[in-house]
Structure 1
Amino acid sequence: MDIVYHVFSMFALISLHVFLYGCNLFMWKSTRINNNFIFDFSSSTALTHRDAFLMSASIMCTVIAALVINLFLRNAGATYTDALPGALLVLSTGVLFCPFNIFYRSTRYCFMRVMRNIIFSPFYKVLMADFFMADQLTSQIPLLRHMEFAACYFMAGTFRNHAYETCTSSPQYTHLAYVISFLPYYWRAMQCLRRYLEEGHDINQLANAGKYVSAMVAAAVRFKYAATPTPLWMWMVVISSSGATIYQLYWDFVMDWGFLNPKSKNLWLRDQLILKKKSIYYVSMLTKEIPIPMFSGTNTLKTQMLNLALRLAWAQSVMKLHLGRVESRLLDFSLASLEIIRRGHWNFYRLENEHLNNAGKFRAVKTVPLPFRELEND
């Protein structure tokens, strides 16, 4: 059942991330944030929120159907039941690389192009879509770990004898897990260094790279503590992770969102705000509140998640919780899901700040000055 957990968790996390991206698209459109201009996407082929919701629902329905079939096969005593998760991986890979103009080909090719730019950082010019996607990957490290296990399980042929320990206890697997946990932060740091060189040695880019380096240091110390659980390394985890958390919180609020400006006419926010209620911004800084207007009009769905609590998720690594196998996996999946929710919330304010900066430099407009509302064909 190990491979079932890893593969289905992987697709569940992807579905959740796509759903939250759909929420972002809906909010950006509702507040007239020109996300296609910022990402340099073509308006004729860019995803809409309906497309994102459809993709998310399709992924989740496929996963649930595969899970139910897998359970029926196991109860029937069928052999090679692990072939179903493998078939799901093959199907998704085939859809991603499908050359025909179906299943959002322009979006799939754009995704692969952006991923190529990220993987080969800093050898490609860094665009907004590139470092925005790289930031998403820093919240998807559990997904990358699931992919690592699935690749090991099927490529090493351990699915024939269900030797799960081959892909969990071997030193090579442990070292590879260490590298995978570093990669998203490494890619993002390399992008910052590339931008530092291209943008006239902007010191802010070096400071941004330092944020990701601090995350790598904190991750390295946690890995060392997992291998050598001594009091010294426990305090090293607390110090390094606390420092990285403070660094990341400051950068989120001040640099990415433009908040905590003491000279702003909106106390401790920024001068220009898109959302009408300033209280939403204050609450968001503490609770990561995502305002999602419902289609009925005035109601608001508010998904609250403590930002600080999510940034302090690393603390569970030093708490020595005595959990069973199922409880441990449930905790890991819950923390991974909460991190994706935090990232989805971060996305809205990040692009809002970028949009207002563009408007201030006359590269975009804050609102569309039309005397009528935009209508869509359902």
Structure 2
Amino acid sequence: MMVWLWGINLWFFSQSNVNYAKIFELDQNHLTHHEIWKCATWMTIVVPTSMTAYLYLYSCGEVSLAASQPVLLYLAVVIILVFPFEIFYLSSRFFLLRTLWRIVVPLQAITFADFFVADILTSMSKVFSDLERSVCRMIHRQVATIAWFEADSVCGSHSVAIPVVLVLPYLFRLFQCLRQYKDTGEKATLLNALKYSTAVPVICLSALKYHVFPDKWTNVYRPLWLLSSVMNSSYSFYWDVKRDWNLSTFTRIFKFNRPHFLSHLLYGQKWVYVWVLGSNLILRCTWTYKLSAHLRHNYLTVFAITALEIFRRFQWIFFRVENEWSKMNLKPNVHISMSTLSTEEDKLLNSSSHDV
């Protein structure tokens, strides 16, 4: 789903002449929206095919063959990503792997692509948590066996690995902000780091339900969990609007003064702003469901909210990239204005000297 939506993002950028390749510092061989959609098509074909093979083999009693289907699928993804030959978009795969490495180990200056991808990973934290559960079950041979239903198994809901994986994308983003502060000295990066740090109490307090007495959870930790959830959701919504999108006090809902950017296609409509602000606020409030381990048993609800979070991030990308593109185009304009002013001053001085 994220890959399909990313292709739509790139299509909009190309139609509106937003140079996303320049923003992300991509080389000339970067993937276009057509190639992104081609990758998404193959993924959409391969995954349901593997699922169908699993169900068919399991129904025929071929349990071991059925259990091998997810293993083969996951291995294929890893092999394709690290394949060192000039096929399957080598330069783009290398760029992705390099960016992921820079996110995990932020020992160098943070680029726009680094924290942009890291932000997307925070929206997919629940996806990575489920991925970890799947890998755990494959390692412990709990696929297509009765052990799958054992709640207290090594891969059950009590595992410490669940909150650890949930919190990792937020810690990566937190360390990026600290690295940015070290490089730039901007205090705004510390405020951004504070935003990501507020995710940690929500995840940790939620995980405590399986490790404390029920009365203590109900009377102490559950209220703290709810309070921390409200704080994080509110702070995150404010940061989206104020910092990431630069919609200060919502004035751009009613005033449009940049017809040459992406707003020419999409953002010149007031209803778009009303929709994106309202939906972003609501989906930020559902964040608690997405990241709280003790709510993961409500499978359909969690799945729906996770999908909606990915859709929220899809909307966020439009405004975030447009804001960055506007900043990049504003700097040359300022330079041109100053040069023009200097030229005018020189003309006035020359004119004055001739008069004298």
Residue deviations 1:289-313, cap 9 Å, x none?
xxxxxxxxxxxxxxxxx22221111
Q: CA deviation at 1:170?
A: 7.6
The answer on 1:282 being equivalent to 2:273 is yes
- The one-letter code sitting in structure 2 at the alignment partner of 1:311 is R
Q: Secondary structure at the match of 1:230?
A: helix
How many angstroms apart in 1 are the aligned matches of 2:255 and 2:180? 27
Q: Match of 2:207? A: 223
Give aligned pairs, total. 320
- The one-letter code sitting in structure 1 at the alignment partner of 2:33 is H
Q: Secondary structure at the match of 2:248?
A: coil
Q: Match of 2:112? A: 128
The answer on 1:36 being equivalent to 2:21 is yes
Contact 2:102–2:108 (CA under 8 A) maintained in structure 1: yes
Q: Give the 5 Å matches for 1:197-208.
A: 197-199=182-184, 201-208=185-192
Q: Give the 5 Å matches for 1:166-315.
A: 166-169=153-156, 174-199=159-184, 201-225=185-209, 227-228=211-212, 229-261=217-249, 266=252, 272=258, 274=261, 275-276=263-264, 277-287=268-278, 306-314=279-287
TM-score (norm 1): 0.78
Q: CA deviation at 1:74?
A: 1.8
Gaps of 5+ in 1: 1-15, 288-305, 365-378
Contact 1:96–1:108 (CA under 8 A) maintained in structure 2: yes
Q: Match of 1:357? A: 327
Gaps of 5+ in 2: 335-356
Instruction: Give the structure with higher Rg (CA).
Output: 2
- The one-letter code sitting in structure 2 at the alignment partner of 1:247 is Y
Q: Give the 5 Å matches for 1:110-121.
A: 110-121=95-106
- The one-letter code sitting in structure 1 at the alignment partner of 2:68 is A
Identical amino acids, percent of aligned pairs? 28
Q: Match of 1:330? A: 300
Residue deviations 1:151-199, cap 9 Å, x none?
222233444955334343385xx21112111111100010011011111
Residue deviations 1:229-253, cap 9 Å, x none?
3133222122111111111011000
The answer on 1:90 being equivalent to 2:78 is no
- The one-letter code sitting in structure 2 at the alignment partner of 1:357 is K
- The one-letter code sitting in structure 2 at the alignment partner of 1:86 is V
Select 1:51's aligned residue among 35, 49, 57: 35
Compare 62-71 and 188-197 and name the one that shifted more: 62-71
How many angstroms apart in 2 are the aligned matches of 1:31 and 1:348? 11
How many angstroms apart in 1 are the aligned matches of 2:253 and 2:53? 55
- The one-letter code sitting in structure 2 at the alignment partner of 1:110 is F
How many angstroms apart in 2 are the aligned matches of 1:261 and 1:362? 26
Q: CA deviation at 1:281?
A: 4.2
Cα root mean square deviation, aligned: 2.7
Contact 1:258–1:269 (CA under 8 A) maintained in structure 2: no
Q: Pick the structure with more helix per residue.
A: 2
Residue deviations 1:137-160, cap 9 Å, x none?
100112211221122222334449
Contact 1:114–1:130 (CA under 8 A) maintained in structure 2: yes
TM-score (norm 2): 0.82
Q: Secondary structure at the match of 1:84?
A: helix
How many angstroms apart in 2 are the aligned matches of 1:161 and 1:318? 28
Q: Match of 1:368? A: none
Change (3 A) 1:132 1:124: same
How many angstroms apart in 2 are the aligned matches of 1:131 and 1:54? 26
- The one-letter code sitting in structure 1 at the alignment partner of 2:319 is Y
